[in-house]
Every structure is written in structure tokens, then in C-alpha cells.
Amino acid sequence: MDLHAAAKGALEFLLTPSIPVIVLGFAVVLLFPVFLHWFLSRSTAYITLPSILVAGPPGAGKTALITRLERRAPKPATTYTSQTTNIVELAVNEDGSSSYSDDLDASGAVAKKFLVIDTPGHGKLRGATLARLTTASSTASDTKLRAVVYMVDSAALAEDGGVAAAASYLYDILLALQKRMGAGNSSKAPPAIPVLVAANKADLFTALPAALIKTQLEAELSRIRTSRSKGLLSSGVGADDVDSANESDDWLGEYGSKAFSFAQMREFDIDVDVVAGNVVGGTDSGPGVDKWWRWIADKV
């Protein structure tokens, strides 16, 4: 009897409409999606970290640089020709002043994390790398690609055909970046992606100095530009049939200019810097990697 009454009382209490219960119920229903969104977007923050793409001809030292930065070591790991893209997560402190060799976790500093994407240099594997630059064009917000490091072997450039090999891939990359700035039908240009030409292996005595590498690459890029535009004209169509708008799309830098210079990329908001350094050997045998690290830290 007593039990019956107690059960009845409890049931009555549960079923009686009460303001606090209704308010609480509404609050849960309305706030749950908000909470879920916050939770999910927090856990996917990883894939939207700012990233730096490292590209360049085979053997330039891209993987060596990445392993050295990742290990915060004075020496790179032993590397082999890369066949796949390799991504490492690095961090620099909030004001961008920390060295690549600082352990930010240990010092407890607030760190800005970013990704460095090491790509294979082999000719057959460049498509995926160039595609990364093109997809960076789709919308301004879905990409966090901040900069491209184009690494070259400063000693190989002094050899026969070295400049030509280094310049043709650079041409493709700069053209992809240039098209990206013009592409898209929104009036808002995508965020600019600057390029660092990292002239590696400055420790070798045969290495060309950065200033010479710059002028040699510019001269070779001019040659490539001229020969590619002639290729368009001689490909069966008469000069009159070639849509001049299309041709200017495939022209790197200032349209119609005689010689190419990196400064012409400014028109497309693309800064190109040439900086010498060396991954192997410390700062006693060359400039080391500090200047490149500063450049990268400045862009993320």
C-alpha cells in the first residue's frame, strides 16, 4: 500500500509539466548540435594546419632537410630517392623566433604547429605535387598551403644540363602558382603563396653562389618560355588561329616581355627569394639551414 503510494507519487512528479524540466530539455536539444560541432571541428584541426610544400629535382636534399628539421638534429638522416610524399609536423613558437633545434614541448612555450610536405623529385611523380598547387586554387579557405620551398643542388647546377633540369620543374611550379592567382570566378584572389629557391649544398666547393643561381635560372626560364610559346605556334595551327588570350595564360610572368625575371612574378603577388644554405655540415662549412627556417617560420 505504502509502496504503491510512493510509486504513484514519483510517477506523478515525473509526468507533471514543470518549467525547469522543459527549459532544461530545450537547452539540451538546442545546444547539443552546437556542442557536437565544436567538438568535431576541434578534433579535425590537424588537417587544416598551415603547410609548406618542398619540391625540386631529385637529389637536391629535400628529404635530408625534412629529416634534419624533424629530428632537430645537426645532421640529416641517411636518405634514399623518395617515391612518395612524406609529411612531418613541426612547430615554431608564437612570435616565430625559435630555432628549428629548440624543443618547444620541453620548454612549455606556446607553439604554432605546421606541416612540411616533402615531395619526390622524379619526373614521373611530379603530377601529384603540381596537383597540390592547383587544388590550392579551388577556394581561398580550404587550403592552408602557405609557401613553396624549391630546393636545388647548387653544385649540380654547375654541371652540364643542371640549370635546364632545375628550371623546367620550377617553370611548371611557377606557372601553376600564377594560374592559381588568375583562376576562380570569385573576385577575391586566393592568399598569395611565396616561393623560396633554396640553393642547397653550399658546403661543396663546386657550389654556385646564390646570386649566380638566380640569374642562371632566370635566363633558363626565359628560354623555356620562348620555346614553349613557339611550340604553341608550330603545333599545326596558324598564328592567326591561336587565341591570344589562351596564349597569355600559358606565359610565365609579364606577357610579351623579352627576358624573364623573378620580379615579374610580383604582378601575381608571388615573391621569389633565392637563399643559399646547406643541410649537410653545420654552419662551419656553409650558411646551414637557419635562414631557410627563418623564412619558413615567417610564412606560417
Ligand X SMILES: Nc1nc2c(ncn2[C@@H]2O[C@H](COP(=O)(O)OP(=O)(O)OP(=O)(O)O)[C@@H](O)[C@H]2O)c(=O)[nH]1
- Per CB under 6 A, residues contacting ligand X are 56, 58-64, 79, 81-82, 120-121, 200-201, 203-204, 278-280
Largest CA distance in the chain: 104
What sections of 145-243 are H helices per DSSP? 162-182, 210-233
Q: Which of residues 97-136 bind Mg ion (CB under 5 A)?
A: none
CB 170 within 8 A of CB 126: no
Nearer to ligand X, 104 or 196 (CB): 196
Report the Cα 8 to chain-centroid distance in Å.
68
Instruction: From the list ligand X, Mg ion, none, pick the one residue 204 interacts with, judged by a Cβ distance below 5 to 8 Å according to partner type.
Output: ligand X
CB 116 within 8 A of CB 299: no
The yes or no reply on residue 154 touching Mg ion (CB under 5 A) is no
Instruction: From the list ligand X, Mg ion, none, pick the one residue 280 interacts with, judged by a Cβ distance below 5 to 8 Å according to partner type.
Output: ligand X
Nearer to ligand X, 81 or 257 (CB): 81
CB of 76 to ligand X, least distance (A): 6
How many residues make contact with Mg ion (CB under 5 A)?
3
Instruction: From the list Mg ion, ligand X, none, pick the one residue 58 interacts with, judged by a Cβ distance below 5 to 8 Å according to partner type.
Output: ligand X
Whole-Å CA distances, 30 to 7, 25, 141, 166: 32, 9, 28, 58
Dist. CA 232–CA 238, nearest whole Å: 10
Nearer to ligand X, 135 or 283 (CB): 283
Q: Return the residue nearest ligand X (CB atom).
A: 121
* Side-chain half-sphere CA neighbours of 217 within 13 A: 31
**Three-state DSSP state, 213:** helix
Which residues are near Mg ion by CB under 5 A? 62-63, 82
